[in-house]
Structure 1
Amino acid sequence: MSSVQDKTWFGQPRGLTILFLTNMWELFSYYGMRALLVYYMTKQLMFAQEKASFIYGTYTAMAYFTPIVGGVIADRWLGKRRAVILGGSIMALGHFLMAFEPLFYLALATIALGNGLFLPSLPSQINDLYRADDPRRGRAYNVYYVGLNLGGFLAPLVCGTLGEVYGWHYGFGAAGIGMFVGLMIYVAGHKYLPQEAQRSAPVQPSEGPASSGRLWLLLLGVGIAATIFRGAYEQIGNTLPLWIDSGVDRSLGSFVIPMTWFQSLNPLLVISMTPFLLWFWRLRAGQGKETRPAIKMAIGALIVAAAYLMLAVVTATLGDQRATWPWLLAFFIVLTFGELYILPTGLGLFARLAPARLGATTVASWFLAIFSGSLLAGAVGTLWSSASHAGFFVLLAALAVVAAGLLWLLDKPIRQRI
């Protein structure tokens, strides 16, 4: 491991850059397809809004359920590297299948299947790049999160524009190309990645059954909080695009901003805001005032609640009038600020709490919360057409507040484990 750690780019192990770029392109493919999905179903396939929201929620949920099985397969049999390569190849195939309307459901299932192998196996390699006492390890997940969102920023601009202007299938094809590029980067940079332990050796438990059981109960509690939070957060790809289409004045002079471009705001803000937050958190840590992970996540959930409350006030005040797009920009600024407090912190927390040689499985448990949260988001999204927009946004804020309260209650037991 020392040779991997000693070779650095930008002050971090070179392997972090490889993982960063690989997942950047994977997220380019995922967000590129996601930016088009609801519009494609409602405008091309002519699905009703309720059906489109339900399919969207079910697809995103299954994309984050399959990693549970994939994480176990990677830890026990395939290994993380083979799981990334095989999973990414299957996902690329699924994206290309999206170009054919009769294969719509098969394409979604193929992407979800490949994601099961790919998703838990990539970020679970980050911890192995660092020694246990390396101070860079705690913030590595925020750096990694920037890479994810760089792909998320480019995806709506490229795939969204191709889909809206030239045809939906061009956008889906571009998403498939992005997945293929990510795979090539991963294969080319394998020498900078940490060596894997032999999977044939028996796993030596580091703690007793009672302690292990308490650990999994603690992870379950954090997962429940993340599920509730995701029920609100995931609306940015579900019902929020519908509001952007019908409730936002997208005019910029004589130019009308494409709907999908606004979905680039969130990842762009992640990229621009993360350096400031990392500097702020380092400063507080140096002063002995570092915020504990659960409290940091609770703060993030409350900030996201404030973002949705802002939309509730705007829509209630304007009535039938369209909101101007700067309100949407303000919403994304507040939401992204909260997101940076909760989502990378949660992923890093699960990785830090992972038992020995169960890294992919434990990280997959974090994605299980995304699965359940996406199902909840799909169910909540079906209320969009029957509720007032202001009332719907208040409901989303309430979900985020409940998640914050649960995370605050979990702070003490988490503090005792790390």
Structure 2
Amino acid sequence: MVHENFGAVDSSPAIDQNLPATRGPIPYRVWITQGLVFMERAAFYGTSQPFQNYLQLEPHDAHRPGALGFGQARAVLIVYIWFIYIYCTPLVGGLVSDCWLGRRKTISYGFIFYILGLAILTGTAFSHEIYSKGGTAGFVVGTLFIGAGVGLVRPNMTVFIVDQCPEEEPKIVTLKDGTQAVTSRELTIEFIYNINYWMVNIGGLAGIVTTFTELHAGFGYAYLIGLCMIATAAVLFQVGYNHFITAPPAGNVLTSVFDALRRRRQSNYRKPTASGDVTPSSSEQTPEHPDENATILAEAKAALWACLVFLPFPAFMLSIDIMDSGLVAQAGSMETHGLPNDIMFNLNPISVIILLPFFQGWLYPFLAKRKINFTPQHKIAVGLLCAAMAMGYTTGIQHLVYSTGPCYDRPLKCLSGDIPNKVNIGIQTPTYIFLAAGEILAIVSGTELAYLKAPNNMKAIVQAIFQLFSAMGGVLGVALSFAAEDPNMVYVYGSITGLLVVTAVAFEIAIIFFKAFR
């Protein structure tokens, strides 16, 4: 997965345009940053995966661990609000980075917020378990700080990782099979982001450890694992602080855009006289540099165009976010055979880890050799269809659960209570596989486009806007959460399926229309 795919490099300036493209070499700093991404995501997923049980269930439940006892619908609502928050905070992190502090300093401050939030959450989880106090307040305050840390770290780390691979002129390289190819910056970035998402999902497997820990030792120890992971990442980042490459902040980009718009508007008011003469102020266009104004506005326009590809992601992220809430609750209504009901979530990162090398190493080269232009935009559309298949299958599972005794459409609420319906939890497996395929196609492509299409001084901001569109999926989830309880879940999953199909078709039509008329 991580081996170099070329041998000798020909430094000849003459590049044969007919040569096939390949990725360039990956500097060691990229791999170090990938390791930091792994630890940050391990801390995040390891901490957030127990949230549904922590919020929904009462303590001392005979079958599943719990703490705060808010119930399914309210817990789903809180989890969606949490996702909205952590998808919105990156916009602040992107602005702070691109406008004032730069990516390296912003990430450092983000780790501080992260550690503080996890420390509060961990301490109050122990306090609630021992004294039955502090759990709710600690969850609110702790997750607010964690969300601030995510907002400062996540969008900047996504750009920072490519900063460690400076752009170079294309070179002719000899592949291991003896053929020649020319290095491509786009393929290098695609490879880096595929590896990045692979590492993200390896980090996601921390949820296996934390879910078993919450079941057998308690939530405090589960959250302590996340605290140790993020503290380790913060220490390693500081150790290598001066060895990383980072782009300097560009100043207040938004202020520059608004000033350029104001100057252009003022210049447009200066009309030629009736005789056709142009006033001196009009000939000068603006009191400052007109070329600079044009450049600023062109960069802002490029950033806006880069953001258009994010339009289908609210629907897509609705299906992804439901893994942490609705699917956990669904698993809790089935026979778990001694497994934690929230452990099934880990089938998603496991599927990504297995499938991503297949996509990167076989499917994409296979299509390229046959001149099939599987663009990032088309990958997003196919990813939406994969998510639609996942939600359609989940709708069928939910119908099966409601059709099976002993509690039918009121699982866990009949007889003596806490008795699941006789459906094996393993039936959820295809849902997580389909969603994994959708993530590889859509999320990786969206991240790649956000980097490639954004101007240099707005890369973190555009990545943050990508996260903001993902937050809109959480908004949709909040709307659905009011109906997200038994016996309504068939309709909930069915409506998500329909939304994804409509979005995928509309997005593909928009791609075709744009190519035809641009």
**TM-score (ref. length: structure 2):** 0.72
**Any idea what SS the aligned residue of 1:323 has?**
strand
Is 1:122 the counterpart of 2:157? The answer is: yes
1:236 is displaced (CA, Å) by: 0.5
* 2:225 pairs with one of 166, 174, 178: 174
Q: Aligned in 2, Cα 1:29/1:195: closer, same or farther, shift over 3 Å?
A: closer
- Give the Å deviation of 1:98: 0.8
Q: 1:315, CA displacement in angstroms?
A: 3.0
Q: Which of 250, 265, 273 in structure 1 is aligned with 2:336?
A: 250
Question: Is 1:17–2:31 an aligned residue pair?
Answer: yes
Equivalent residue number for residue 260 of structure 2: none
Give the Å deviation of 1:414: 7.2
Cα distance change on mapping 1:77 and 1:378 into 2, 3 Å: same
Q: Distance in 2 between matches of 1:348 and 1:249?
A: 40
- State yes or no: 1:112 paired with 2:164: no
Change (3 A) 1:114 1:314: closer
1:355 aligned residue: 455
- 1:393 is matched with 493
Report the CA distance shift for 1:286/1:37 in structure 2 as closer, same or farther (over 3 A): same
Q: Aligned partners of 1:273, 1:94: CA distance in 2, in Å?
A: 34
Post-superposition Cα deviations, 1:225-267, rounded to whole Å, max 9, x if no partner, equal 1012212221011111000111x3223xxxx222232121111
Residue pair 2:302, 2:455 contacting (<8 A) in 1 also? no
Shift of 1:347: 1.0
**Corresponding residue SS for 1:411:** helix
Pairing 1:139–2:217 present: no
Q: Tell me which residue corresponds to 1:265.
A: 347
Number of equivalent positions: 403
- CA change 1:408–1:48 in 2 (3 A) is same
Shift of 1:205: 6.4
Show CA shifts across 1:182-233 (max 9, x none): 2233333446632423646998969657755654554443333101221222
In structure 1, distance between residues paired with 2:454 and 2:104: 19
Q: Does 1:327 align with 2:427?
A: yes
- The equivalent position to 1:187 in structure 2, one of 212, 216, 238, is 238
The Cα of 1:11 is off from its aligned counterpart by 5.2
Q: Distance in 2 between matches of 1:119 and 1:263?
A: 21
The answer to whether 1:29 aligns with 2:31 is no
CA displacement at 1:45 relative to structure 2: 0.8
* Residues 398 and 192 of structure 1, relative CA distance in 2, 3 Å threshold: farther
User: Are the aligned partners of 2:303 and 2:454 in contact in 1 as well (CA < 8 Å)?
Assistant: no
- The match for 1:5 is none
Letter in 2 for 1:143: I
Do the aligned partners of residues 177 and 403 (structure 1) sit closer, same or farther apart at CA in structure 2, a change above 3 Å counting? Answer: farther
Q: Does 1:289 align with 2:372?
A: yes
Rg larger for: 2
Q: How far does residue 15 in structure 1 lie from its aligned partner after superposition?
A: 2.3
Partners of 2:41 and 2:514 in 1: CA distance: 30
Does residue 234 (structure 1) correspond to residue 316 (structure 2)? The answer is: no
Q: How far off is 1:268 after superposition?
A: 1.0
Q: Give 1:161's match in structure 2, choosing from 190, 207, 212.
A: 212
CA 1:157/1:188 → structure 2, altered by over 3 Å: closer, same or farther? same
Per the TM alignment, residue 406 of structure 1 is displaced from its structure 2 partner at its CA by: 3.5
- Of Structure 1 and Structure 2, which has the larger fraction of its residues in helix? 1
Maintained 8 Å contact 1:222/1:410: no
Is contact 1:229-1:399 (8 Å) kept?
no
- Alignment partners' CA distance in 2, 1:412 and 1:126: 32
Is the aligned partner of 1:402 residue 2:416?
no
Q: 2 CA distance for matches of 1:106 and 1:414?
A: 45
Cα–Cα, structure 1 residues 235 and 186, in superposed 2: closer, same or farther, change >3 Å? same
- Equivalents in 2 of 1:209, 1:220: separation in Å? 17
Cα deviation digits, residues 319-359 of structure 1 (max 9, x gap): 13443233211221122112211111111111111112211
Where 1:290 maps in the other structure, the secondary structure is: coil
Structure 1 unaligned regions, length at least 5: 1-9
Match of 2:396 in 1: 313
Query: How do 1:31-110 residues align onto structure 2 when only pairs under 5 Å count?
Result: 31-43=45-57, 44-99=67-122, 100=124, 101=135, 102-110=137-145
Contact 1:294/1:414, CA 8 A, preserved across alignment: no
Partner in structure 2 of residue 4 of structure 1: none
Residues 270, 69 of structure 1: alpha-carbon distance in 2 compared, 3 angstrom cutoff: same
- Identical pairs, percent: 21
Query: Could you say if the C-alpha distance between residues 194 and 411 of structure 1 is closer, same or farther in structure 2, counting changes exceeding 3 Å?
Result: farther
Shift of 1:290: 3.2
Measure the CA separation in 1 of the matches of 2:140 and 2:237: 28
Q: Quick one: distance in 2 between partners of 1:91 and 1:414? A: 42
Distance, in Å, in 2 between the alignment partners of 1:201 and 1:402 is 39
**What's the RMSD between the two structures over aligned residues?**
2.7
Question: Take 2:399 and 2:342, find their aligned partners in 1: how far apart are those partners?
Answer: 24
Alpha carbons of 1:414 and 1:267: their partners in 2 closer, same or farther (altered >3 Å)?
farther
Whole-angstrom CA distance in 2 between matches of 1:414 and 1:192: 43
Paired with 1:383 and 1:115, the residues of 2 have a C-alpha distance of 29
Deviates more, 1:321-330 or 1:294-303: 321-330
Q: Give the secondary-structure state (helix, strand or coil) at the position aligned to 1:45.
A: coil
Residue 131 (structure 2) aligns with: none
Highest RCO, 1 vs 2 (Cα 8 Å, sep ≥ 6): 1
Structure 2's unaligned 5+ residue stretches are 1-23, 58-66, 125-134, 169-183, 257-290, 406-421
Distance 2:243 2:335 in 1: 48
**Which amino acid in 1 is paired with 2:404?**
D
